[in-house]
């Protein structure tokens, strides 16, 4: 399976799993950075993604979350640090190369064709056919059957796969997209703010499917600005702010309160301080706000 180990040794040595260093990460970003002209969108970011684990990326608007995903999903290559995926250093030049390795991204504004039945959307671009030559046609029955089965396997109960995608709720669409990625063999699943536009109940549904994907052995990257969504499902948390990492924790090392405080409190106060500064406020006021910021997350 792992051809890269087959160097000069012919790959013959059967390496026992136990007692040796832990299997390597599905993905590893090491001090990765990216700039757009003069804008540093991302700098010095280190993060791992493992099979059967959920890595959450948290940050406000402009934090660099999308830039990070774009590097991993092959839309924009990084220009600093190293990005290792599935055993080799990568510099993806197109989403196709990422996808071929099993890195699938589900974007918030899902490109679904609303009038299309669910099964059709599920197989879009990878349609199954039957027969050959002039008799080749879509294997509708099999596609419907597989769609039904895969959705069921994810615990998604949709009465009718013939239903147009447009009739599904936002949460259900996310779930169909997740099931689709799982079916087509994704090893890494990137979810860009899948709960951002959803209410509490639907968010809960999506969070459940994140766990389902994790339990099926995928490495999940869950992007969100909501620590309350991230904490219950996450194994690791990367906090980004203005393109920099302001924290990278295992779940054991951080509480929900700490995540929330670091996300919200600090960021808001600092922004306020900057706004005041820009407005040319009195130095004392600025200093006071900055002192607040400096006091850190425990406050507010």
- Contact positions vs ligand ADP (CB under 6 A): 36, 39, 41, 59, 61-67, 243
Q: Which is nearer to ligand ADP, 105 or 154 (CB)?
A: 105
Q: Which residues of 167-187 are buried (b: 16+ CB within 10 A; e: fewer)?
A: ebebbbbbbbbbbbbbbeebb
Residue 41 interacting entry, from Mg ion, ligand ADP, none, C-beta within 5 to 8 Å by type: ligand ADP
Task: Write down the residue that tokens 């299997």 correspond to.
Answer: 23
117 binds, among ligand ADP, Mg ion, none (CB under 5 to 8 A by kind): none
The contacts of residue 270 (CB under 8 Å, 6+ apart) are 293
What the block records as the tokens of 259 is: 């995540």
Q: How far is the CB of 41 from ligand ADP (least distance, A)?
A: 3
Q: Which does 39 bind (CB under 5 to 8 A by kind): ligand ADP, Mg ion, none?
A: ligand ADP
C-beta of 43 vs 148, nearer to ligand ADP: 43
In the complex, the smallest distance separating the C-beta of residue 61 from ligand ADP, rounded to whole angstroms, is 4
CB of 108 to Mg ion, least distance (A): 8
CB of 239 to ligand ADP, least distance (A): 11
What's CA 284's distance to the chain center, in Å?
A: 42
Binding site partner of 63, from ligand ADP, Mg ion, none, Cβ cut-off 5-8 A by kind: ligand ADP
User: Measured from the CB of residue 206, what is the shortest distance to Mg ion in angstroms?
Assistant: 17
Nearer to ligand ADP, 65 or 214 (CB): 65
Closer residue to Mg ion, CB minimum distance, 212 or 224: 224
Please give the structure tokens belonging to residue 53: 């684990």
CB of residue 50 vs ligand ADP: minimum separation in angstroms? 23
Alpha-carbon distance of 198 to 252, in angstroms, equals 28
121 binds, among Mg ion, ligand ADP, none (CB under 5 to 8 A by kind): none
Tokens of 239: 């906090």
Q: Are 218 and 233 spatial neighbours (Cβ–Cβ below 8 Å)? A: no
Q: With CB cut-offs between 5 and 8 Å by kind, which of ligand ADP, Mg ion, none does residue 59 bind?
A: ligand ADP
Nearer to ligand ADP, 36 or 155 (CB): 36
Long-range CB contacts (within 8 A, 24+) of 204-209: 205/171, 205/172, 205/175, 206/171, 206/174, 206/175, 207/232, 207/233, 208/155, 209/154, 209/155, 209/156, 209/174, 209/175, 209/178, 209/179
Rg (CA), the chain: 22
Q: Which residues, in sequence order, are CB contacts of 291 under 8 Å at separation 6+?
A: none
The site string for Mg ion over 53-92 (x = CB under 5 A, - otherwise) reads ------------xx--------------------------
Residues of this chain that interact with Mg ion (CB under 5 A) are 65-66
């Amino acid at each position: 399976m792992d051809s890269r180990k087959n160097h000069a040794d012919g790959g013959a040595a059967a390496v026992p799993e136990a007692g040796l260093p832990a299997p390597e990460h599905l993905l590893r970003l090491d001090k990765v950075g990216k700039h757009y002209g003069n804008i540093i969108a991302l700098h010095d970011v280190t993060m791992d993604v493992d099979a059967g684990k959920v890595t959450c990326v948290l940050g406000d608007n402009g934090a660099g979350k999308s830039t990070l995903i774009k590097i991993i999903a092959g839309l924009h290559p990084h220009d600093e640090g190293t990005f290792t995926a599935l055993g080799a250093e990568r510099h993806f030049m197109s989403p196709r190369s990422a996808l071929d390795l099993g890195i699938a991204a589900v974007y918030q504004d899902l490109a679904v064709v609303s009038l299309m039945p669910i099964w059709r959307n599920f197989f879009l671009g990878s349609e199954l056919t039957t027969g050959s030559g002039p008799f080749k046609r879509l294997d509708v029955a099999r596609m419907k059957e597989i769609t039904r089965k895969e959705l069921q396997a994810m615990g998604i109960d949709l009465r009718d796969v013939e239903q147009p995608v447009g009739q599904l709720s936002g949460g259900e669409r996310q779930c169909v997209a997740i099931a689709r990625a799982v079916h087509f063999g994704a090893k890494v699943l990137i979810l860009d703010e899948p709960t951002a536009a959803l209410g509490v109940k639907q968010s809960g549904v999506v969070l459940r499917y994140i766990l389902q994907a994790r339990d099926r052995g995928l490495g999940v990257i869950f992007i969100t600005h909501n620590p309350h969504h991230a904490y219950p499902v996450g194994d690791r948390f990367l906090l980004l702010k203005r393109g920099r990492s302001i924290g990278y924790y295992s779940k054991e090392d951080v509480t929900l309160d700490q995540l929330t405080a670091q996300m919200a409190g600090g960021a808001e106060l600092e922004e306020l301080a900057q706004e005041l500064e820009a407005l040319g406020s009195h130095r004392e006021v600025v200093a006071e706000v900055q002192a607040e910021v400096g006091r850190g997350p425990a406050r507010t």
